[in-house]
Structure 1
């Protein structure tokens, strides 16, 4: 279904991996573009991820309105870099149980998946090469919803910055997105923002939170007020659960809330 603002329907792109791990059971809707993982060299995980991200950026840049279905959050740097080629003044709306605002300097685990939003805002220089052409998103153009599960240093980093934090509530999100003004928006959602009881098999369940139905309302509210030019669903289930019927049904409901209608 074409969006009333852009005139474009969603172009579904599937990136079936988590960091540098290929997810062979990741569900691919009919008609979606599945990014073929290139051969990866040995060596650091970040270097391997960067090669994957280059392949994603190339695919995203070819379509008019990308909706990326992925197994992790860091691949968002590829999607954003590609969308910035058309819309350099992009804003980010990020729904996640976690802040993804750790950096190599403050992370207690070193887990790269917990640094994705920090990557987009320019807080991880030197972690990857700069060949994607990613330009840091200013904090003032970022809305972070929920983020109920934060590390102490991550909480401090968010408090010291200008990222706007709101609850995962349709009215609060609509108001915050409205305050961004008439800028193109990249909309990102990690499925773990949903109440953990509704997500069997999630990699990082975060306990009580908004229901799936409430998150669907949030997505609809954002799309009603924002010029959403790209969207991304981080489908972070465990490798042996991402292909389950429950996971596919959740992905389908979220994509429909965005105005797409995937068929599995």
Structure 2
């Protein structure tokens, strides 16, 4: 593992973080290859795939902790070198480790969280016990994951979420966290919310309309690839601190992710264009 990542460093998370099937890990591998081809860099693997537990958030977090700490350390190295991390991840739960590192290293950056869900449950509000549903709430300091926090609600923009449980909706309504729903003006609204600040971009692919890429959850009413591309173009007008993309499922090993990577192209290019 090199400590000289260049202007952009590609990370492939190869661990298991709340996975309930093998398709997310396969999707991360496929996505890492597509991103490597786009960026012209090799992916650095972090973690190792482990047997799936199918357990509640606490058991899943304990099992994933070593690998999550490793990916957090990789992000620290990359950011300390002045480079931009780009990560292919299996599940949103990986952000429990990555986003606190970004939030602490770049206190000026906004986390733009593309997702069909809110992911702002806590252990006290979750009814499913799914670790990924707590993924943004941990960095926001709403519960103690043991992996850090440091992200304030005014530096979080939730884009495309349309499946919010009542506690999540109440949180959005009562804090400075910004919700940008899907719609024809989504890119313009994202630009207004970011207001020219540096951004770290997190993309859960179930933010897209179902069927565009394979995902574990299908949430109707999502973004099109063109919507995503326009949002990324708006974000690329400011500094892109890093990008992580996950929740792509691969069931055949040869799904075509060209459209997805092209839609992400503006922020990938901006991340690689760092001085």
- Report if TM-score (shorter chain) is over 0.5: yes
Matched, 1:240 2:251: yes
In the alignment, the residues of structure 1 paired with residue 260 and residue 88 of structure 2 have an alpha-carbon distance, to the nearest angstrom, of 8
5 Å matches for 1:36-51? 36-38=46-48, 44-51=59-66
- Aligned counterpart for 1:195 among listed residues 209, 217, 229: 209
CA contact (8 A) 1:35 1:59 kept: no
Which piece of structure 1 moves more, 60-69 or 80-89? 80-89
Contact 1:72 1:234 (8 Å CA) reproduced? yes
Q: Is the 8 A contact 2:12 2:44 kept in 1?
A: yes
Distance 1:145 1:72 in 2: 17
- Give the distance between the partners of 2:106 and 2:217, measured in 1 at CA: 32
Structure 1 partner of 2:242? 230
Flag the 1:107–1:189 CA change in 2: closer, same or farther, 3 A: same
Q: How does 1:77-92 map to 2 (within 5 A)?
A: 77-84=96-103, 86-92=105-111
Q: State the partner residue of 2:14.
A: 16
TM-score, normalising length from structure 2?
Answer: 0.77
User: In the TM superposition, what is the alpha-carbon distance from 1:84 to its structure 2 partner?
Assistant: 4.0
Query: Structure 1's 174 and 24: CA in aligned 2 closer, same or farther, altered over 3 A?
Result: closer
CA–CA distance in structure 2, aligned partners of residues 74 and 100 of structure 1: 9
Deviation sequence 1:70-129 (CA, Å, 0-9, x none): 11112113222333453234321111111111111111101111111111111122xx32
List runs of 5+ in structure 2 lacking aligned partners.
Answer: 1-5, 271-275
Distance 1:150 1:209 in 2: 13
Greater alpha carbon shift after TM alignment, 26-35 vs 108-117: 26-35
CA-atom RMSD, angstroms? 2.6
Q: Which runs of 5+ in 1 are unaligned?
A: 1-7
Of Structure 1 and Structure 2, the greater helix share is in 2
Equivalent residues in 2 for 1:60-139, closer than 5 Å: 60-63=75-78, 64-84=83-103, 86-125=105-144, 128-129=145-146, 132=147, 134-139=148-153
Give the CA deviation at 1:157: 2.3
Structure 1-normalised TM-score?
0.80
Structure 1 residues 84 and 102: CA distance shift in structure 2, 3 A: closer
**Across the two proteins, how many residue pairs are aligned to each other?**
241
| Cα offset, 1:10, TM superposition | 2.9
